[in-house]
Amino acid sequence: MKYIVVIDQGTTSSRAILYDLDGKVVAQAQQEFKQIYPQPGWVEHDPIDILSSVRSVISTALTEARVKHSELIGMGITNQRETVVAWDKITGEPVYNAIVWQCRRTRNHCLELKEYEHEILKRTGLKLDSYFSASKIEWILKHVVQAQKLLTEQRLCIGTIDTYLMWQLSGGRIYKTDYTNASRTMLYNIHKLEWDSYLCDMFEVPRQILPQVCPSSDFYGNTDKEILGFEVPICGVAGDQQSALFGQCCFTKGDLKVTYGTGCFLLMNTGDEPLSSKNGLITSLGCQTTTTPSYVLEGSVFVGGAVIQWLRDELKIISSAAESEALARTVSDTNGVYLVPAFVGLGAPYWNFEAEGLITGITRGTNRAHIARAALEAIAFEVNDVITAMQKDLGVDILTIEVDGGAVENNFLMEFQADISNATIARPKNREVTALGAFYLAALALHIFDDLAEIKLKNPIEKSFSPRVTKEERQNKLEGWNKAIKKSLL
Ligand code: ADP
């Protein structure tokens, strides 16, 4: 038998998933690693921890499935985006901890750059924010003495997690990244498809030390036998959200996926033309399998499934997330209650960090079921606001939404999403679409599939949800939500 192994290097854990060539999961292993919070708002990972967790999950998955090294034919990598690592080209030793995407240490510095906001957006498709890699790389170069020393000796490597892993697993032979990861650094020009000199100058990052950028489905080089015990080509690489979009088979312009996790992440394929959003969304590169670039529009909702955790842990009106569905179904509607979970402000399309969370429309008859129902509806409303923004930017209606993430188990939420967005919700059989995307990318490079159409047949829809309400009913609900949002923005 032949297999492909995928590494899913996430923010809190690393996973290895072993696939047969049909895309079936044969084994998987997962390992958490330490989160480091040196100061309020700072988040770091130890790169050595990340690497050892990756090696360990690969070995566990192979042992569990009793797969021999000789049966492996390729490797895919999908990873937490924006997080950066710097290391020594000769010893491989990191010069500092990885600075994680969530880390806010460069926030003030980014505020100082406000006058360049428009230029940054034009070149990178991104909003000026400390979330992206550029200011984190700049911070390392300014504050870490060892980084400065290695830079003058021309032996400093710096990159996102995919680059770090490939470099380490190949024994220093691969120094590359893919378009999706590069497009999240805020140093990459998504139109010219090159590291942007103007931005590299602005963030004082020497352009020549940055890795080579390649299509997501490509031969990056081989893993080192000495390091992993086997030598296979790394041939599929993508940042987690773009990989999930590919795993959902959103190959065509207008295809959209929504991930309902702690937050909700929406990505839409906009084809080979970058759309610059007039509605608060950002533009990035998608998984590219040929020389033609592929662009995506992205919007995030900060609090998605987290509002259900809040019902469970703080209000204690449910004892498990799953219970929210049965409770919501005990009432026929929210009785005019709306909940806006702006716990940390509001993300796309509002981008308002001062917005406050609220529950409105409470009467003497309001009970916990109404609140639970309003919380679930709120997730769908928030997602719908981003979808509406995407539709405006694209200029056409979205008819189907591919979904994944923990909260899609909730059929009530899926039904309500279909109703409020007037679209069909398609929930696939295999919901682990992030890793699946990297598998497809690797498999394409290895010519296991002839084309994208063949891939589409590999992960059928488990259940779809069609809209069931009238236009008027939808408008009424949306009006109530928009009123509540207005109050939250006051
Ligand atoms: P993440 O990857 O962000 O950790 P997951 O995809 O694992 O998130 O999803 C977990 C989130 O989904 C939690 O916030 C949880 O409250 C929510 N969730 C899980 N199951 C349900 C459910 N049946 N109904 C509603 N929300 C759910």
CB < 8 Å & 24+ apart, contacts of 61-64:
61/5, 61/16, 61/17, 61/18, 61/27, 61/28, 61/29, 62/5, 62/18, 62/27, 64/27, 64/29
CA 415 to CA 380: how far, in whole Å? Answer: 10
Q: What digits encode the pLDDT tens for the residues 89-117?
A: 999 999 999 999 988 899 899 889 999 99
pLDDT at 351 over 90: no
Q: What digits encode the pLDDT tens for the residues 402-415?
A: 999 999 999 999 99
Q: What are phi and psi of 135, to 5 degrees?
A: -70, -25
Residue nearest to atom 9 of ligand 1 (CA): 406
CA 427 to ligand 1 centroid distance, Å = 15
pLDDT at 302 over 90: no
Q: Check if the beta carbon of residue 402 is closer than 8 Å to that of residue 257.
A: yes
Among 240, 241, 262, which is best to mutate for testing ligand 1, by the most ligand atoms less than 8 A from CB?
Answer: 262
Strand partners, 45: 98
Q: What digits encode the pLDDT tens for the residues 414-470?
A: 999 999 999 999 999 988 999 999 999 999 999 999 888 899 888 889 999 999 999
Of all residues in the chain, what percent are helix, strand and coil, respectively (each to 5)? 40, 25, 40
C-alpha dihedral (305, 310, 315, 321), degrees to nearest 10: 40
- State the pLDDT at residue 102: 85
Residue 71 DSSP label: G
Q: Check if the beta carbon of residue 431 is closer than 8 Å to that of residue 408.
A: yes
Among 11, 260, 343, which is best to mutate for testing ligand 1, by the most ligand atoms less than 8 A from CB?
Answer: 260
Q: What digits encode the pLDDT tens for the residues 43-79?
A: 999 999 999 999 999 999 999 999 999 999 999 999 9
3-state secondary structure 349-413: CCCECCCCCEEECCCCCCCHHHHHHHHHHHHHHHHHHHHHHHHHHHCCCCCEEEEECHHHHCHHH
Lining ligand 1 with CB less than 6 A are 261-262, 305-306, 308-309, 321-322, 324-325, 405-407, 409-410
Please name the amino acid found at residue 423: A
C-alpha dihedral (155, 158, 159, 162), degrees to nearest 10: 50
Global pTM reads 0.92
Q: What is the mean pLDDT of the chain?
A: 95
CA 408 to ligand 1 centroid distance, Å = 8
CA nearest neighbour of 433 among 410, 453, 411, 461: 461
Residue nearest to atom 23 of ligand 1 (CA): 322
Q: 318 pLDDT band (50/70/90 cuts)?
A: very high
Q: What digits encode the pLDDT tens for the residues 208-239?
A: 999 999 999 999 999 999 999 999 999 999 99
Burial of residue 32, with CB atoms counted within 10 A of its CB: 0-12 exposed, 13-18 middle, 19 or more buried = exposed
CA nearest neighbour of 218 among 465, 374, 447, 478: 447
Q: How far is CA 258 from CA 79, 171, 379, in A?
A: 18, 37, 11
Q: Identify the helix (H) or strand (E) that includes residue 109.
A: helix 107-112
